[in-house]
């Protein structure tokens, strides 16, 4: 992300000094109030609009947005910040619905110094948490490493993929992840084995971590064969998903033995409007900001559909999209 493109309301300049001293007006709109934030080399933006950082393009501002310069900078910040202040990492917001009231505390978004992708011996790939999944798939293909083709179909970052156990077309993060690297709230680096991730369908166990990278292992294949499979995924998505819309991908997890899109469709919600929101005509489990929707429109639509599906079919739909922030 080019920092010049930051959607600032008030930008606090980066400084090696305590940059809060340069912005005496910093107050959180939340009940949690911090007079000082740690001195950092990265950027701090107060009342930072988050909508441009999410695929849905909705939602209110973060009290504070922090863009760390690098891992050491992030560690310094986490060591120094009041543990009572909520800290929320975000990737590219492809699975996020930020509510209209914005987000309490600090949002952390990792930049290019966390986006390294590197093929290693034994069919391994290291990827920084800010690297795009698609880029990781491409590097794997270029190096004849099979198993990560599915990442071409997930439009998020590695950080989001680690948390969500992202996957498609029969493959998931858990199939290729060796270990994940993170900083905890105390700013300490921790390594999590695959077993420690507690992976299930679109779920991981660990909480309160900011992932900084992951190590993957695939299997050897020819560059041509891996590239062909990856390209097939690209082509398939183009025709089956509304990937150019303001969407959050699959809205609900597939309930055991059912397809969420079928339930939404059979409940009569494919293409039907709710404020500025609707479920896609192309893929009935993809919710879309069709016409200046608010986060309340989108969440209201989702909850209405959940209630109707429960009433009509007795089946519970669970949100896959993470809804965060104040209503
Ligand atoms: C068009 C479209 C198609 C999609 N198709 C698929 C699909 O096929 N398969 C699939 O699994 N998903 C799919 N998704 C959903 C989404 O792309 C994935 O969930 C993705 O992994 C989210 O990554 P992100 O970087 O956008 O994370 P975000 O949406 O920004 O965040 C998601 C969660 O991860 C956390 N998080 C993000 N980065 C970090 C970090 N560094 N450390 C700790 N926590 C972090 C956030 O706090 C949040 O809880 C799709 C989405 C869209 C819009």
Cβ–ligand 1 distance for 213 under 6 Å, the answer: no
> Taking residues 282-300, what's their average pLDDT?
98
Contacts with 253 (C-beta within 8 Å, 6 or more apart), sequence order: 201, 202, 260, 317, 318, 319, 320
- Write the pLDDT tens digit of every residue in 5-17: 333 333 333 333 3
pLDDT > 60? residue 1: no
pLDDT > 70? residue 217: yes
Residues 82/94, Cβ–Cβ less than 8 Å: no
* CA pair distance 107, 256, nearest whole angstrom: 34
Read off the pLDDT band of 35 (50, 70, 90): low
Look up 30 and say whether it is catalytic.
no
Alpha carbon distances (Å) from 262 to 79, 151, 270, 284: 47, 25, 9, 7
**How far apart are the CA of 76 and the centre of ligand 1, in A?**
26
Look up 236 and say whether it is catalytic.
no
What pTM, to 2 d.p., does this model score?
A: 0.92
**How far apart are the CA of 164 and the centre of ligand 1, in A?**
6
Nearest ligand 1 atom, CA 133: 21
pLDDT confidence of residue 33: 47
Assign residue 275 a region (left: φ > 0; alpha: ψ between -120 and 50; beta: otherwise).
Answer: left
Average pLDDT, the chain: 91
Cβ–ligand 1 distance for 64 under 6 Å, the answer: no
User: How many C-alpha atoms does 52 have within 13 Å on its Cβ side?
Assistant: 11
Q: Determine which one of 204, 250, 280, 299 is catalytic.
A: 250
**How far apart are the CA of 23 and the centre of ligand 1, in A?**
33
Residue to mutate (ligand 1; options 249, 251, 319, 324; most atoms within 8 A of CB)? 249
pLDDT confidence of residue 31: 44
pLDDT > 60? residue 28: no
pLDDT > 80? residue 23: no
Nearest ligand 1 atom, CA 162: 21
pLDDT confidence of residue 36: 79
> Taking residues 181-186, what's their average pLDDT?
98
Nearest ligand 1 atom, CA 94: 26
pLDDT > 60? residue 22: no
**How far apart are the CA of 89 and the centre of ligand 1, in A?**
11
Look up 189 and say whether it is catalytic.
no
- Write the pLDDT tens digit of every residue in 60-118: 999 999 999 999 999 999 999 999 999 999 999 999 999 999 999 999 999 999 999 99
pLDDT confidence of residue 240: 94
pLDDT confidence of residue 135: 98
* CA pair distance 194, 236, nearest whole angstrom: 29
3-state secondary structure the chain: CCHHHCCCCEEECCCCCCHHHHCCCCCCCCCCCCCCCCCCCCEEEEEEECHHHCCCCCCCEEEEEEECCCHHHHHHHHHHCCCCCCEEEECCCCCEEECCCCEEEEEEECCHHHCCEEEECCCEEEEECCCEHHHHHHHHHHCCEECCHHHHHCCCEHHHHHHHCCEECCEEHHHCEEEEEEEECCCCEEEEECHHHCCECCECCCCCEEEEEEEEECEECCHHHHHHHHHHHHHHHHHHCCCCCCEEEECECCCCCCCHHHHHHHCCCECCEECCEEECCCCCCEEEECCCCCHHHHHHHHHHHHHHHHHHHCCCCCECCEEECCC
Least confident of 6-20, 168-182, 200-214, 239-253: 6-20
Percent of the chain predicted with pLDDT > 70: 89
Cβ–ligand 1 distance for 34 under 6 Å, the answer: no
Please give the domain boundaries of the chain with CATH numbers for all domains. Answer: 3-109 (3.30.43.10), 114-239 (3.30.465.10), 243-324 (3.90.78.10)
* Residue 204 main-chain phi, psi, to 5 deg: -135, 155
Residues 40/19, Cβ–Cβ less than 8 Å: yes
pLDDT > 50? residue 3: no
* CA pair distance 22, 146, nearest whole angstrom: 50
């Amino acid at each position: 992300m080019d920092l010049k493109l930051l959607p600032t309301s008030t930008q606090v300049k980066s400084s090696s000094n305590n940059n809060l001293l340069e912005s005496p007006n910093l107050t959180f709109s939340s009940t949690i109030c911090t007079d000082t934030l740690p001195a950092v080399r990265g950027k701090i933006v107060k009342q930072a609009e988050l909508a441009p950082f999410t695929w849905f393009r909705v939602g209110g501002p973060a009290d504070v947005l922090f863009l760390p310069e690098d891992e050491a900078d992030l560690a310094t910040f986490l060591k120094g910040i009041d543990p009572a202040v909520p800290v929320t990492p975000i990737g590219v917001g492809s699975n996020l619905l930020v509510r209209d009231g914005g987000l309490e505390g600090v949002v952390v978004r990792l930049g290019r110094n966390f986006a390294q992708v590197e093929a290693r011996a034994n069919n391994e790939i290291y990827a920084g948490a800010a690297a795009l999944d698609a880029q990781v798939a491409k590097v794997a293909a270029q190096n004849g490493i099979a198993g990560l083709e599915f990442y071409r179909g997930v439009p998020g970052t590695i950080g989001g993929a680690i948390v969500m156990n992202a996957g498609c077309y029969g493959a998931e993060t858990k199939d290729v992840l060796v270990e994940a690297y993170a900083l905890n709230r105390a700013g300490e680096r921790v390594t999590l084995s695959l077993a420690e991730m507690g992976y299930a369908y679109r779920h991981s166990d660990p909480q309160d971590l900011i992932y900084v990278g992951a190590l993957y292992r695939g299997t050897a294949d020819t560059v041509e064969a891996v590239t062909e499979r990856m390209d097939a995924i690209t082509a398939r998505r183009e025709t089956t998903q509304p990937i150019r819309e303001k969407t959050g991908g699959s809205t609900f997890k597939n309930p055991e033995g059912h397809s969420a899109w079928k339930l939404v469709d059979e409940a009569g919600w494919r293409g039907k409007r709710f404020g500025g929101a609707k479920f896609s005509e192309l893929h009935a489990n993809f919710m879309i900001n069709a016409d200046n929707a608010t986060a309340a429109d989108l969440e209201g639509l989702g909850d209405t559909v959940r209630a109707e599906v429960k009433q009509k079919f007795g089946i519970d739909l669970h949100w896959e999209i993470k809804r965060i922030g104040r209503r």
